[in-house]
Structure 1
Amino acid sequence: MIATDNQAPLLRLGGAFTIERAAELKALLLAEIEQGAPSAVSLEGICEIDCAGLQLLLALRRQLPSVPLTAPSPAVEQLFARVRLTSLLDN
């Protein structure tokens, strides 16, 4: 799930960020980016993430380097710690 907050340009990501949904999520993320850069990207709703989901977040980071990734869910925290990428959350 991808939702934007109408009061603040916050992009909220949620659901499963897995290989099964990678193409769908990529298209949704690209559509959101085309509408304008959010002030932050909330990761609190991501309940499951695998390497394909990680690749999507890395691509998002590459496209929006100054936009912070905030509120990582436990699943995101665990994967980022496992691959030693917690610095991506330090904005």
Structure 2
Amino acid sequence: MSNLPDAPISPLILGGAFTIERAVALQQLLLQQLQQIGLQEVCLSGISEIDCAGLQLLLALKHSNPHLRLSAPSPAVEQLLTRLQLTALLSD
């Protein structure tokens, strides 16, 4: 075994549409990533479209992992969070 410190875990970068059509697949991906690599940060910069189902996934992710950081929201994510007064979701 090595005595080297653990390398920092890179954020999971989400992209594409975060919509109801992809909700089940996205949920499976997120759960798998959480279990395998112990995510500390999720980058939202690549999300091109988000609806309430996508937002529900983000809320569930944050709820089940309170220390998880959601960073770099795309304009689509930022617009939805602002409209619903949920921008505090992005604060640490």
TM-score, with length taken from structure 1: 0.88
Q: Is residue 46 from structure 1 mapped to residue 44 from structure 2 by the alignment?
A: no
Equivalent residues in 2 for 1:1-91 (5 A)?
Answer: 8-91=9-92
RMSD in angstroms over aligned alpha carbons? Answer: 1.5
- CA distances 1:32-69 after superposition (whole Å, capped 9, x unpaired): 11113222110000000000000000011012111110
Fraction of identical pairs, as percent: 57
Give secondary structure in 2 for the equivalent of 1:8: coil
Unaligned runs of 5+ in 2: 1-6
Matching residue of 1:3: none
Larger radius of gyration between Structure 1 and Structure 2: 2
Unaligned runs of 5+ in 1: 1-5
Moved over 4 A (4+): none
